Structures are given as C-alpha cells and as structure tokens.
Amino acid sequence: MLAIGVCSTLNSSLVLAHPHGWIDLSVRVITNDEGIATGLHQTWRMDPFYSLVVFEELQQVQGSNLQEGLDQLGSDIRDNLSQQHYFTEIRVNGEPQALGEVSEYTALERDGRLTFMFILPLATPQPLAGRMLEYQVFDPTYYIEVVHEEEDGAPSEQALILYGEPDCRLSVLPADPDPELVMQAALLDVDETGESGLGRHFAETGRIECD
C-alpha cells in the first residue's frame, strides 16, 4: 500500500476483486526554456473511501492538527514509492528512462480527497523535438488502479498538460489487457495481491509526440 499503518481497514468493505481502490491522476510534463523535458509533475487524488480512512486515522493520532499528520504521511508515501520506482515508467522513443529521486512533494486534503503531489525528475533530461515520450503510472500488484482524470467519460484537458510546446500532440491511450489477465485479476481475493507487474497491463499510457 501507499502508506504504512493508515489503511489497514481498506480491505474490509470493498468488492472481492482487484482493484481495491483507485487514484485519479493528472500529469504536467516539465520542460526548461530549451524545450527539454526534466520531469513529471504528478497529482494523485486518492479515492473517497481510502481518503476517509486515512483522515480518520490521522485525526485519531494527531487530534486537530491534521496538516502535521499529512506532512508525515507525505514523507511516508514518498519513501514507500521510492522503493517501487514511484509507480512510474517513462520511455523516450521506446527506450526506458532512469528516474531521479523525489525531493519536492506534498500531501493535503482537497475537496474531501487525500491528494499527493510530487515532481518526479528524469535522471537525464530529454529533448522532445522529433521524439515521443510515453509514461505509465501503475501499482505493480494492481491492488490500486491508476486512471487519468476524466470528464464525460474521457480523459480531461487537465489529465495531461505540456506548456509552451505548440508542435507536440498529447494523448492518453486506454489500457487493452488480455482477457485472461482480466480474469486473473478478478479472481484475486480481497486479501491477495497480484503478481508484480500485473498492474502494467491495466495502465493507461500518456503520450507526447513532438515534431
């Protein structure tokens, strides 16, 4: 799970099939003045049930000082994600990219949802001109599903943003998992996790194609 000790009851009331929770994702590709991509600014909005459980746990521990608890939670989430490549894979022209360490992040309450925001740097900044950058964000075990922010059943305009690069086309491609993998995920019991890598097959792909 994303944090230790704050979501022990997440399993109790959800359906007996993966996923057991979800994250609404939005991504802003960060570029410098030369149009070179330096990282991804990600915003994760945790599902309402998970958020409620977390806030109740934090209030029991922290009392009225919710933000202090959220600050510690943000650090815990960052530390846990760092051991799992921040749930993120990035490719440029099909080549996997090494990731840097997250040092800028925050956890906060927004509209009743636990929101985690962070900047994930590329270990080596990559020019975008004439290239295609793709990313996927997913829980390897598919315990939590990650989907881009939607509006009217399609990715919203805020789901994937790139400023100042008019010659680039942005898109979010839906997942197309094999039916056997769908069945495999559905048969996992509420206290089971999928094999590491299962979540990749259910991940949407953000794509930036530049002339």
pLDDT tens digits in sequence order for the chain, 211 residues long: 454 333 433 333 333 345 778 999 999 999 999 989 999 999 999 999 999 999 988 888 866 688 889 999 999 999 999 999 999 999 999 999 999 999 999 999 999 999 999 999 999 999 999 999 999 999 988 888 999 999 988 899 999 999 988 899 999 999 886 666 556 655 555 554 545 567 788 899 999 999 9
- The answer as to whether 90 is a domain residue is yes
Reported as type and span, the H/E element at residue 43 is: strand 36-46
- The answer as to whether 45 is a domain residue is yes
Reported as type and span, the H/E element at residue 3 is: none
DSSP 53: H
- The answer as to whether 15 is a domain residue is no
- The answer as to whether 44 is a domain residue is yes
- The answer as to whether 3 is a domain residue is no
Place of tokens 């100042």: 164
Reported as type and span, the H/E element at residue 105 is: strand 105-110
- The answer as to whether 38 is a domain residue is yes
d(CA 72, CA 63): 14
> Domain range for residue 116?
21-210
Q: How many domains does the chain have?
A: 1
- The answer as to whether 13 is a domain residue is no
| pTM of the entire predicted model | 0.86
CB distance 100 to 107 below 8 Å = no
- The answer as to whether 10 is a domain residue is no
Reported as type and span, the H/E element at residue 60 is: helix 48-62
d(CA 25, CA 146): 7
